Amino acid sequence: MSAVIEGFGGEIVGPDDAEYDAASRTVLVGGSPAYVLRPAGVEDVQKAVAYVAQSGLPLAVRGGGHAFAGFGTNDGGVVIELGKLAGIELVDKERHVVRIGGGATWGQVAAALAPHGLAISSGDTKSVGVGGLTLSGGIGWKVRKYGLALDNLVAVEIVTAAGDVVRASADENAELFWAVRGGGGNFGIVTAFEFAAHPTTDIYFGKLAFPANEIAEVLQGWAAYQRTAPAELTSIAAFANPFLGGPEAPLEIELAYDGDDAELAAQAIDPIRKLGTVLADDVALRPYAEVLVDGVVPPPGIQLITRSAFVDKDSVPEVLRILAETGASQGSPIMSVRTVGGAVSRVAADATAYAHREAELMFATTTIGPPPVIEATKPARQALWDKLTPQVTGAYANFLSDAGDADVAAVYPTATYERLAAVKREYDPTNLFAGNHNVRPA
Ligand SMILES: Cc1cc2nc3c(=O)[nH]c(=O)nc-3n(C[C@H](O)[C@H](O)[C@H](O)COP(=O)(O)OP(=O)(O)OC[C@H]3O[C@@H](n4cnc5c(N)ncnc54)[C@H](O)[C@@H]3O)c2cc1C
């Protein structure tokens, strides 16, 4: 097989190999690529990119393979799978700079940093890739205190479409560094990310549950409280989950207080407890690395349709009213609303290609089921989004299962898109890296 690419030091999996079926699919979608290439180092990535460029085959780059839009595989093309590039090294102990391979997952990172008392603001799931999550944002349990995952980046090493290895930071190739912080995988393959990690203690973490008939009121109180809550507190409100009873499902507010002081944690969390009838409360002090969960792998044939948007301050009451009203009806998608604000909104909108800095909330609707269920629920989803569209702004690329022109336009405001397109022209003029919310070269 190495005859496919001379001198390739990693693995090449083709349709005749026993592992082909497993290698060709991602966590969420199946595929039938011609080859899955697993580079063992940066030079292999360069060779793989050169091979794809000269073959003319479509390319999918796979980090953790969790993209809802299935970007991590394709049919008939080449998948470059980065799982072997998963080194995690504390390279500067004083500044807490950590160098992480482009194919590592957040579970690996949290486990590797825990013995040093460090963590990086990331997401909530172990198996999600550092690559995809960081390149489009990164909204996790420390987001209000330390910002998005990409706000903690200090540099990247990236293999461009020309096969060059380029370093980008605030001081080197600064425009490329701006673009990779929100522009997804459009500019090349990131072989290493360098983050400034932050010290972490154990954190207060758990779930509060409220009855379904209190959702409308509790949601409004919860969202209003975020404006005065300490930045240490980050939470996700979820409801209408058909696996927990659909319209009868409780409202679950999962929260993290980033600190180990019991009194301060209670002061931060109690105002949420007082919003309604608490049915369950399992908030307890836990190691940060242990609050991340294992991603659930849906069985083959089950699809996930996810769509997201941001909510600015003035629209919060109306958007939450619409979500609560829809959640109370049969066949509603699963609703999940995340607090942002805090450190995220202290970064200027044009400082990174992730531009949605004003938002107080990010929410996603998710429908899970076999194709007939997805099809049957389409009109209701459309009706919901028709109501929401005048009230919301943009979309969070990491929670989108579609990648059409309207989705791309929602992810990148016009000025951001134009600036990204200029960077794309410089680093990927032929749009080799198109398996993403795609920016076309200017
Ligand atoms: C169960 C689950 C939980 C999630 N939880 C969160 C959460 O808490 N917070 C949050 O913000 N998001 C969350 N997400 C969304 C997640 O951030 C996106 O799905 C993200 O795209 C996943 O990245 P990945 O590397 O695993 O996926 P992939 O499908 O491998 O990659 C996604 C995109 O990034 C590109 N890419 C990946 N790695 C690289 C690289 N090294 N260089 C260049 N391009 C690369 C790929 O080409 C593709 O376009 C979750 C998703 C799932 C399925």
Residue nearest to atom 4 of ligand 1 (CA): 125
**What is the three-class DSSP state of 175?**
helix
Q: How far is the CA of 132 from the centre of ligand 1 (A)?
A: 3
> Domain check: are 62 and 188 in the same one?
no
Q: Tell me 124's DSSP state.
A: S
> Domain check: are 55 and 111 in the same one?
no
Residue 57 within any structural domain of the chain: yes
Residue 439 within any structural domain of the chain: no
Domain limit, last residue, from 66, 81, 96: 81
Contact between 91 and 192 (Cβ < 8 Å): no
> Domain check: are 245 and 373 in the same one?
yes
Location of structure tokens 């997201």: 308
How far is Cα 422 from Cα 400, in angstroms, rounded to an integer?
A: 24
Q: Cα–Cα distances in Å, from 404 out to 31, 134, 385?
A: 19, 21, 16
Q: How far is the CA of 185 from the centre of ligand 1 (A)?
A: 10
Domain limit, last residue, from 41, 65, 81: 81
Domain limit, last residue, from 81, 110, 135: 81
Per-residue pLDDT of the chain (442 residues; tens, 9 = 90+): 445 899 999 999 999 999 999 999 999 999 999 999 999 999 999 999 999 999 999 999 999 999 999 999 999 999 999 999 999 999 999 999 999 999 999 999 999 999 999 999 999 999 999 999 999 999 999 999 999 999 999 999 999 999 999 999 999 999 999 999 999 999 999 999 999 999 999 999 999 999 999 999 999 999 999 999 999 999 999 999 999 999 999 999 999 999 999 999 999 999 999 999 999 999 999 999 999 999 888 998 899 999 999 999 999 999 999 999 999 999 899 999 999 999 999 999 999 999 999 999 999 999 999 999 999 999 999 999 999 999 999 999 999 999 999 999 999 999 999 999 999 999 999 999 999 999 999 9
How far is Cα 377 from Cα 64, in angstroms, rounded to an integer?
A: 29
Q: Using alpha carbons, select from 143, 144, 147, 95 the residue that is nearest to residue 116.
A: 95
Residue nearest to atom 34 of ligand 1 (CA): 132
> Domain check: are 340 and 394 in the same one?
yes
> Domain check: are 321 and 174 in the same one?
no
Residue 221 within any structural domain of the chain: yes
- Residue ranges lining ligand 1, Cβ < 6 Å: 26, 61-68, 71-72, 82, 102, 123-125, 128-129, 131-133, 135, 137-140, 184-185, 189-190, 295, 398, 435-436
Residue 149 within any structural domain of the chain: yes
Residue 302 within any structural domain of the chain: yes
Location of structure tokens 């950590």: 98
Q: Which CATH number belongs to the domain containing residue 20 in this structure?
A: 3.30.43.10
- To test the pocket of ligand 1, the residue of 25, 46, 62, 144 to mutate (highest count of ligand atoms within 8 Å of its CB) is 62
Q: How far is the CA of 271 from the centre of ligand 1 (A)?
A: 33
Quickly list H helices, 250-376.
Answer: 262-273, 288-291, 316-327, 371-376
Residue 5 within any structural domain of the chain: no
Domain count, the chain: 3
pLDDT digits (tens, 9 = 90+) for 377-410: 999 999 999 999 999 999 999 999 999 999 999 9
Q: How far is the CA of 215 from the centre of ligand 1 (A)?
A: 30
**Which atom number of ligand 1 is nearest to the Cα of residue 436?**
49
Q: Using alpha carbons, select from 197, 69, 175 the residue that is nearest to residue 442.
A: 175
Q: Would you state the pLDDT for residue 296? A: 84
> Domain check: are 249 and 333 in the same one?
yes
Residue 440 within any structural domain of the chain: no
Q: How far is the CA of 284 from the centre of ligand 1 (A)?
A: 29
Q: Would you state the pLDDT for residue 300? A: 86
Q: Which CATH number belongs to the domain containing residue 180 in this structure?
A: 3.30.465.10
Q: Would you state the pLDDT for residue 1? A: 47
Q: How far is the CA of 261 from the centre of ligand 1 (A)?
A: 33
- To test the pocket of ligand 1, the residue of 100, 105, 135 to mutate (highest count of ligand atoms within 8 Å of its CB) is 135
pLDDT digits (tens, 9 = 90+) for 418-433: 999 999 999 999 999 9
Q: Would you state the pLDDT for residue 3? A: 58
Q: Using alpha carbons, select from 376, 250, 385 the residue that is nearest to residue 303.
A: 376
Q: How far is the CA of 432 from the centre of ligand 1 (A)?
A: 19
Residue 3 within any structural domain of the chain: no
Q: How far is the CA of 131 from the centre of ligand 1 (A)?
A: 6
**Which atom number of ligand 1 is nearest to the Cα of residue 193?**
41
Residue nearest to atom 49 of ligand 1 (CA): 436
pLDDT digits (tens, 9 = 90+) for 180-194: 999 999 999 999 999
> Domain check: are 64 and 173 in the same one?
no
pTM summary value? 0.98
Q: How far is the CA of 105 from the centre of ligand 1 (A)?
A: 9
> Domain check: are 138 and 236 in the same one?
no
Q: Would you state the pLDDT for residue 295? A: 86
> Domain check: are 51 and 196 in the same one?
no
How far is Cα 418 from Cα 440, in angstroms, rounded to an integer?
A: 9
Q: Which CATH number belongs to the domain containing residue 317 in this structure?
A: 3.40.462.20
> Domain check: are 233 and 285 in the same one?
yes
> Domain check: are 313 and 370 in the same one?
yes
> Domain check: are 315 and 392 in the same one?
yes
Write out the residue range of the structural domain in which residue 231 sits: 203-406
Q: Would you state the pLDDT for residue 4? A: 80
Q: Would you state the pLDDT for residue 297? A: 86
